[in-house]
Amino acid sequence: MTTTEVPSDLAAFAGFLRERLAVLSGEFARPSDAADRAPGDDRIAAVEELREGHEEEIRWVRRFQAALYEAGIAWPSGPVVHGGLGLTPAHDAVLDDLLSELGFPSREALFVGLRIVAPALLHHAAPALRDEVLPALYRAQIVGCQLFSEPGAGSDLAGVTTRAVRDGDDWVVSGQKVWTSMAHLADVGEALVRTHPEASKHGGLTMLLIDMHAPGVTVRPIRQMTGGAAFNEVFLDEVRVPDARRIGGLGEGWRVAGTSLGSERSTMGGAAGPLTPYVMERVVGLVRRLGAEADAVHRPQIARAVAAVAAMRAVANLSPGSWSHRLEPVSGSVLKMLMSQAADEIARLAQDVLGEGAFVDLGEADAYAWSEFVLGVPALHIAGGTDEIQRNVIAQRGLGLPRVSAPRAT
């Protein structure tokens, strides 16, 4: 397929995708009322959870991603040389919307590799590393994870202490990472490490691509209050990483991390994020089934949820040229904040409408199905950078406001 055969107009591109997805629908698409769910499972989650017996589900998703790649539509915005179509992120969003609308499996397990690790490789890695890893990620031959946060470095990400010491052509990495989504499935991990402890806090960091199956890598799931374990802690005990697996230059890890985080935040507000079309369809169905829109008590909360989602979608649909030159670099932070606020409003609405049925299985439609979503929403205020960090990014980098020093103790 050549790029001249692919329409750039978004509406025409959607039609182009529908034709190609029709070929895959018989094998992969589910009925619309079960989109993104395993058969017989009506649960709704803000963050996909690790569940017992998930292995076949993951294999199925990986087969589906491979089929998308072979059909030439897995990465609309990606370079043609790596199997992409050379289009724009807006075309990626069209694909995400259609996959959800047509009942194809959720690619949540691949999110970190495709939307966080891949952009860092694309923009910063040496050609040989890009050529090797990017097609493998988009074929789902490998799964990626993000080794950023640490027990003592979450919001203050530049404070990471995981050390990488040079030994010939290798780096020897030791430290601990935490809150690592999909580490239990991952083959490679994008790791922010400290290579120059004598340098400045931000300048001493470098990004490495670690083999998650290498000796010295230990992954332990973190059980959440939802009952699942989507996050993990990862221990790195003298793990050897070839310098050829470095992403970007020495001391440029902070800049590489910015690329990954910007992509993550931007994507979280779209159909590939937590508020999928499936979630929106379910909440609308819930409100209508219970007649909540006719209840004066529920109407204000419905209005708040509708307004929050409308704001998120309006910003997500803005073209890059619609932003001022100062706000363009922080657009991902703006969208991430709007997404987490919209998720809050939807969670409150589900609780208001269902009452105890939000947390107790009453044997009725939608009863208990929303419990994981409600309990998982707080994590969205942390994932991709806490709300406080996002506000600082928007204020300082976008609006040009001065950094405010912490008050001195008297």
| pLDDT score of 39 more than 50 | no
Q: CATH homologous superfamily for 144-250?
A: Butyryl-CoA Dehydrogenase, subunit A, domain 2 (2.40.110.10)
pLDDT at 406: 61
**DSSP string computed for 182-215:** TTTT-SEEEEEEES-TTS-TTTTEEEEEEETTST
Q: How confident is the model at residue 48 (pLDDT cuts 50, 70, 90)?
A: low
d(CA 85, CA 2): 8
CA dihedral 218, 223, 224, 227 (to 10 degrees): 140
Q: What percent of the chain has pLDDT over 90?
A: 45
For the chain, what are the domain ranges? 3-138, 144-250, 274-398
pLDDT at 405: 66
8 A C-beta contact, residue 50 and residue 130: no
Catalytic residue among 233, 264, 345, 372: 264
DSSP state of 406: P
Question: What CATH number should be reported for the domain whose range is 274-398?
Answer: 1.20.140
Report the number of secondary-structure helices (H) and strands (E) in the chain: 12, 8
pLDDT 10s digits, 359-387 = 877 777 676 788 888 888 888 887 777 88
Task: Scan for tokens 């997500």, then name that residue.
Answer: 316
Give catalytic status of residue 345 as yes or no. Answer: no
pLDDT at 269: 67
Residue type for position 395: A
pLDDT at 355: 86
Backbone φ/ψ region at 179: left (φ over 0), alpha (ψ -120 to 50), beta? left
Nearby residues of 363 by Cβ (< 8 Å), 6 or more positions away = none
8 A C-beta contact, residue 191 and residue 260: no
Q: Which two tokens stand for residue 241?
A: 């990483």
Q: Report the chain's mean pLDDT, rounded to a whole number.
A: 85
| pLDDT score of 53 more than 60 | no
pLDDT at 130: 96
d(CA 329, CA 147): 23
Task: Summarize the confidence of residues 181-206 as an average pLDDT.
Answer: 93
**Helix, strand, or coil (residue 373):** helix
pLDDT at 13: 96
d(CA 147, CA 241): 14
Distances (CA, A) of 103 to 154, 179, 245: 36, 29, 37
Task: Summarize the confidence of residues 11-37 as an average pLDDT.
Answer: 78
pLDDT at 272: 65
**Helix, strand, or coil (residue 229):** coil
Q: Domain 3-138 classified CATH 1.20.1070?
A: no
The answer to whether domain 144-250 and domain 274-398 are alike in fold is no
